Structure 1
Amino acid sequence: MPPPPFIIDSHIHLWDSGDIDKLAWCKPEDTLARRCTVEDYVEAVNSTAPEAEESSSAGDGPRVGYIFVECDRANDGGADWTQPLAEVTMMRQIIEAEGESSSTGSTASSQARCLAMVPWAPVHSGPEVLERYLDAVQEAAGPVAWPRVRGFRYVVQDKPHGTMLADDFVAGLRLLGRRGFVFELGIDQHRRGRTQMEETEALLDRLHGDDVPEAERVVLVVNHLAKPDLTVLNPAADRGFAAWRNAMFALGKASPSHVFVKMSGLFSEMPDALRNQPSNAFFVATFPWFAVLLAALGPSRLMFGSDWPVCTARYASLLAVEGTASSDAEDAAATATTPDKKISKAEAGAWDKWRRIVAQMCYMATLGEDDEAMIWAGTAVKAYGLDTEK
């Protein structure tokens, strides 16, 4: 399935080798303890999944606009803003460099352009602290990059239950709504169970209830399908799947202009048994989740996201069973813990692999051209208020 001519990748992360020790979750031995730059991302977009190499040529990837999402840099529980603001400064440099090179088309920005960024924010600290932080982000971003700050994220998947329903948290989100920013909601149904899904429904009532002025109704973008449990063998009979499905339909009942879901992150959720199957088996196994999303929200509220480079982290073992050359596997192993090395050629195919899986979903669901265009780009434009012409 050839890629569409233009894709908005709604979820990528970037860091250089010198930033690795600033990532709160990353250990020196981790697969992702290496550079992941715009140049590496463009290489991934131009790479081909192993099973498609006979029918595709390298270097013919689609034109891509991406949304940078914060990488959870160390912040001392929200008290220290140094690293989150340094991340904003990093993106400022990338965006300003795009402007300087756009006339020549000589850099990675000619194919992959940053359309928006979503920095970290201490939403849990309440509106007064959050207001000061937004001022600090504006200063760090500068006049060129600040307009591309379209939202903020504070991951709650690893926080105590009740975090997202605290008064300060809700008030912080209402502030983002007043300021016209999106909030990225990172929750984890697989590991945290039904409680986070139930709290999300309660949060929607507090954010979008009849007593909330329209100007304060923040747009919520749910990351990674809320991380469902893909270890389920029989979704139709599983209580966890039923809880996730009910939560998706609850999201679907919310305002169509205020709640969206990213089709991203499932490579990180796949069980070992599924990783040892060909990619088509991965699509078949996950189609029940895709079907729920389409029924509950529809294409106009779903958006493609690669979750690059996280999508590469558990990809090597999948490659081995699909006939990837041993030299590529050795290349992946050699670069895994070398910070200055690029992501291997083999692992770079993860981006194309996920794109093909989403394309297969569109095909199997018999989506029309307009609906497909929403998933690939249109929904992101609507949710984030993007101007793709600038």
Structure 2
Amino acid sequence: MALIDAHQHFWDPAAVAYPWMDPGDTVIHRHYGPEHLTPHLERHGIDGTVLVQSADSDEDTDAMFAVAAGFPAVLGIVGYVPLEDPARAADRLAELAVRPGFAGIRNLIHDRADPDWLLQPSVVDGLRLLERADVPFDLVAVLPRHLEVLLVLSERLPELRVVIDHLAKPPFEGDAGPWRELMAAAAANPNVFAKVSGLYPAPGTDLRPWVDHALEAFGPERLMLGSDWPIAELAGGFDPVWSSLVEVVDGYGPAVAAHLRAGTARRFYGLSS
């Protein structure tokens, strides 16, 4: 059965600025490239990946395309355009659209002080560019408010295709009620998908109930699997993080697992076989 990692990163802090990184964090603040990922892909039988932006800059996006040009395992690239500047975003989007592997856009909205940033009129105009061009948007939702904003966007831009990264960071040790309600509300829009990725609960936590809820809300046809590597290095490394996710997904049986393993990612991002 095919297997795609729908959310991974490459970066080199010596070549591109990543403002969110702590230079003292020697696990994260270092170069991660294909040579570091390849053994994991081979060990787990992963057929390809979706490479996702790690900085709101053209430099990071250009670096991703440069690396991917020599690394066929990357099937799609989610880059960056300045959504708050629609004119410049349109120009940049036209540039990216003709590059092999271009698959979507993301902005690091969770690093912005204003959780309503996506609702600014200029940003909505930027998102409208994506809607019109049928370019998917990766939403980094880490606060309940981010999902509330998504509900507003679903009304204003109903044809915008969105994937919620990391299941919007479920509250493993808190009140799950708001998360469950907001995820179900977000899933009411058939153009909203989600990634089973970036889930780092305390050791021994059962992920199955959280994925159960995602499946109930979205169905397998709108869920995809991702490692969030190399952030996963902070949670024990690629192998335990990925293995725990695949174990849960495969536990639903092949008819469900086939979507999360590869089918959904291929359809959502328009990935080649």
Scaled by the length of structure 1, what TM-score is found?
0.65
* C-alpha distance in structure 1 between counterparts of 2:249 and 2:235, whole Å: 24
Instruction: Give the match for residue 376 of structure 1.
Output: 261
CA contact (8 A) 1:117 1:151 kept: yes
Equivalent position to 2:101, from 138, 148, 172: 148
Instruction: Give the match for residue 196 of structure 2.
Output: 263
CA contact (8 A) 1:85 1:137 kept: no
Equivalent position to 1:359, from 242, 246, 253: 246
Instruction: Give the match for residue 253 of structure 1.
Output: 188
* Runs of at least 5 residues in structure 1 that lack an aligned partner in the other structure: 47-59, 74-83, 99-108, 209-216, 233-237, 316-349
Cα pair distance change 1:90/1:229, threshold 3 Å: same
Instruction: Give the match for residue 204 of structure 1.
Output: 154
* C-alpha distance in structure 1 between counterparts of 2:132 and 2:162, whole Å: 13
Amino acid at match of 2:211: F
What whole-Å deviation, never above 9, does each CA across 1:328-378 have from its counterpart, x for those lacking one?
xxxxxxxxxxxxxxxxxxxxxx323223222332354xx331321110000
Q: How does 1:41-190 map to 2 (within 5 A)?
A: 41-46=37-42, 60-72=43-55, 84-98=57-71, 109=72, 113-125=73-85, 127-137=86-96, 146-159=99-112, 160-189=114-143
CA contact (8 A) 2:8 2:49 kept: yes
Cα pair distance change 1:12/1:137, threshold 3 Å: same
What whole-Å deviation, never above 9, does each CA across 1:274-326 have from its counterpart, x for those lacking one?
2xx4xxx23x2x332111101111111110000000011242xxxxxxxxxxx
Residue 133 of structure 1 and its aligned partner are, at CA, apart by 2.4
Residue 17 of structure 1 and its aligned partner are, at CA, apart by 5.5
Amino acid at match of 1:289: W
CA contact (8 A) 1:45 1:352 kept: no
Residue 64 of structure 1 and its aligned partner are, at CA, apart by 2.4
Q: Tell which structure's C-alpha radius of gyration is larger.
A: 1
CA contact (8 A) 1:151 1:183 kept: yes
Amino acid at match of 1:134: L
* C-alpha distance in structure 1 between counterparts of 2:169 and 2:13, whole Å: 28
What whole-Å deviation, never above 9, does each CA across 1:105-157 have from its counterpart, x for those lacking one?
xxxx4xxx1111011221122x323112224546xxxx6xx131111111222
Instruction: Give the match for residue 7 of structure 1.
Output: 3
Equivalent position to 1:300, from 216, 221, 225: 221
* C-alpha distance in structure 1 between counterparts of 2:87 and 2:101, whole Å: 23
The number of residue pairs the alignment matches comes to: 271
Instruction: Give the match for residue 221 of structure 1.
Output: 163
What whole-Å deviation, never above 9, does each CA across 1:238-261 have from its counterpart, x for those lacking one?
3xx111101111122112xx2110
Amino acid at match of 1:157: H
* C-alpha distance in structure 1 between counterparts of 2:250 and 2:102, whole Å: 33
Which one has more relative contact order, counting CA pairs under 8 Å at least 6 apart? Answer: 1
* C-alpha distance in structure 2 between counterparts of 1:35 and 1:88, whole Å: 16
Identity %: 29
